[in-house]
Structure 1
Amino acid sequence: MTTPVRVLVAKPGLDGHDRGAKLVARGLRDAGFEVVFTGIRHRVDDIAATAVQEDVALVGLSILSGAHLALTRRTVQALRAAGGDDIPVVVGGTIPASDVARLREAGAAGVYPTGTPLDAIVADIRALTAPED
């Protein structure tokens, strides 16, 4: 029996809307991932520390507040500072198409605007966390 891939789903900042994050967390769990869900309103330093402590393969941020660029950039930096620079970060939520490239430049390995099909998110995260040959 193989060990499931561990991922962390987090809501950074003051955004209190967690329905999308819970749907993605459940979809990932149903797809065979082990999901660590931090809940709402967490500081990026705490998210990074949890990711390293829980030895996750990926961090998924759910951001609806409009602060996706700053929070993604800060999370990537916090992971580096915490020793988790090998942990990819993906971000989903209310993200205008014009910000997708900017999020990738900020270090996001995947970007999922509202309305991205759950199957596409799962497939992408599976590819991002696949063991290298």
Structure 2
Amino acid sequence: MPLRRRILIAKAGLDGHDRGAKIVARILRDAGYEVIYTGIRQRPAEIAAVAIHEDVDVVGLSVLSGAHIGLTRRIIVALAEHDATDITIVVGGTIPSRDREKLIELGAAAVFPTGTSTAQILDGIDSLFAADNEKNVHVGPYAVSDYTPPTHAHKTR
């Protein structure tokens, strides 16, 4: 029996707009993924705790508020603090083109900006798992992953 992949769709921070996150959750579910949705206004530590508790393979972070870099960083740090660096992070929402590479450098495996088609989202998620299968390395609790988020010093202004 094939492994059913688990994906957590999360809305972090004060962002209360979740229509897109719910649509993404539904298309992933309809494609055969097991999807858990956190609801709105979750703290990064709460998202990490749910991801660990639910043994998810991927956290899909949806951000429309402009706080995508800080929230992504805090979720990656929270996962690392609990030795859960094997959980892959993807980010979607209102992501300016100038920030997409920054998110990848932080440790996000993929970025899906507003306007990404549902087919492109599915292809992107499918390719994450296909790449893991080719490397014989799986995300999630099933095996050790080579995903390790970079460490960053906290900078204050």
**Bin of the TM-score, shorter chain as denominator length:** over 0.9
The amino acid of 1:2's aligned partner reads: P
Q: How many residues align?
A: 133
**Aligned structure 1 segments of 4 or more residues deviating by more than 2 angstroms:** 129-133
Distance across 2 between alignment mates of 1:11 and 1:56: 16
Q: Secondary structure at the match of 1:15?
A: coil
- 2:11 paired residue number: 11
Gaps of 5+ in 2: 137-157
Shift of 1:84: 1.1
1:23-34 alignment runs, 5 A limit: 23-34=23-34
- 1:110 paired residue number: 110
Contact 1:9 1:37 in 2 (8 A): yes
> What TM-score do you get using the length of structure 2 for normalisation?
0.81
Question: What are the superposed Cα offsets for residues 85-110 of structure 1, whole Å, 9 maximum, x if unpaired?
Answer: 01110000001101101111111110
The amino acid of 1:41's aligned partner reads: R
Relative to structure 2, which stretch is displaced further, 118-127 or 28-37? 118-127
Contact 1:88 1:109 in 2 (8 A): yes
Report the structure number with the largest CA radius of gyration: 2
Distance across 2 between alignment mates of 1:42 and 1:64: 14
2:70 aligned with 1:44, yes or no? no
Distance across 1 between alignment mates of 2:3 and 2:103: 31
2:73 aligned with 1:73, yes or no? yes
Distance across 2 between alignment mates of 1:29 and 1:115: 20
Question: What are the superposed Cα offsets for residues 59-114 of structure 1, whole Å, 9 maximum, x if unpaired?
Answer: 00000000001001111111111221011100000011011011111111100110
Q: Aligned Cα RMSD in Å? A: 1.1
Distance across 2 between alignment mates of 1:87 and 1:126: 15
Shift of 1:28: 0.3
Distance across 2 between alignment mates of 1:77 and 1:35: 23
> What TM-score do you get using the length of structure 1 for normalisation?
0.95
Q: Secondary structure at the match of 1:108?
A: coil
Shift of 1:3: 3.9
Question: What are the superposed Cα offsets for residues 13-32 of structure 1, whole Å, 9 maximum, x if unpaired?
Answer: 01000000001000100110
